Amino acid sequence: MTFKPYAIVAGVGAGTGAAVARRFAKQYPVALLARSPDFSRKLAAEIEAEGGTAVSYKVDVADEEDMARVFGEITQRFGTTCAAAIFNASSRPFPKPFLWQTQADVDHALNITLNGAYNFAKATLPLLLNATEGAVVPTLLYTGATAAVKANAWLQPFAVSKHSLRALVLALADEFAPQGVHVAHAIIDGVIRMPLTWIMKPLSSWHAKLDPNAVSLLILRAASVVRLPGHVSSC
């Protein structure tokens, strides 16, 4: 059986994750990863109804064994050549005075954002390396937040997790760019327009929030680097 290059999107929710999945599904078969799969299953069905190819997988990205199980299913279904892998999973920022915070707050933030990102890289990079001979440079992209470069009071665990994610991406780019994989960190500097953020920030204008469809277009462009003859990709 001949497999086409495909895309993997982790953290498929109603905002950026869904928009990215829809955007990439116009060019690739897509594997959708989510801890709570109800939404991603509906999204996969919508993509299929529109003529695309999408499969939803329930997985805890922070669980190494669970990731190994799911990626076994993904490679069986789609093959071992991945064109783009997008990590959008993240802990949520819950403001709390520092002296009220506990170790559990830090562990929760790091478990999803950093451990999940690490496991995702371990699982996807072998598949991305298989795509380095194509016309388009394979891309491993992580969505980040303003907290990756600017820390705020009451949000120490979230800031630590996002700074850690950025450091991981920089180190991965340094190692894998010479091997032909584009590794990128996309800082989403604002609040995404979605039902959850309307509840969390009701006084903030709906139009002041970022359109996830516009964000997904920029992510697709970042993952569409065309290889030049004799060119070694870098980040």
Neighbours of 53 (CB within 10 A): 16
Is 233 within 8 Å of 223 (Cβ atoms)? no
pLDDT band at 234 (very low <50, low <70, confident <90, very high): very low
**Which CATH number is associated with domain 6-222?**
3.40.50.720
Handedness of CA 118, 121, 126, 127 (dihedral sign): positive
Can you give the residue ranges of every domain in the chain? Answer: 6-222
pLDDT tens, 39-97?
Answer: 999 999 999 999 999 999 999 999 999 999 999 999 999 999 999 999 998 888 888 99
Q: Which residues, 6 or more positions from 132, have their beta carbon under 8 angstroms from its beta carbon? A: 138, 179, 180, 181
Backbone phi and psi for residue 130, each to the nearest 5 degrees, phi listed first:
-75, -10
135-194 pLDDT tens trace: 889 999 998 877 788 898 999 999 999 999 999 999 999 999 999 999 999 876 556 545
Residues whose CB falls within 8 Å of the CB of residue 144, separated by 6 or more in sequence, listed in order = 162, 165, 166, 169, 185, 186, 187, 188
Give me 104's structure tokens: 């559990």
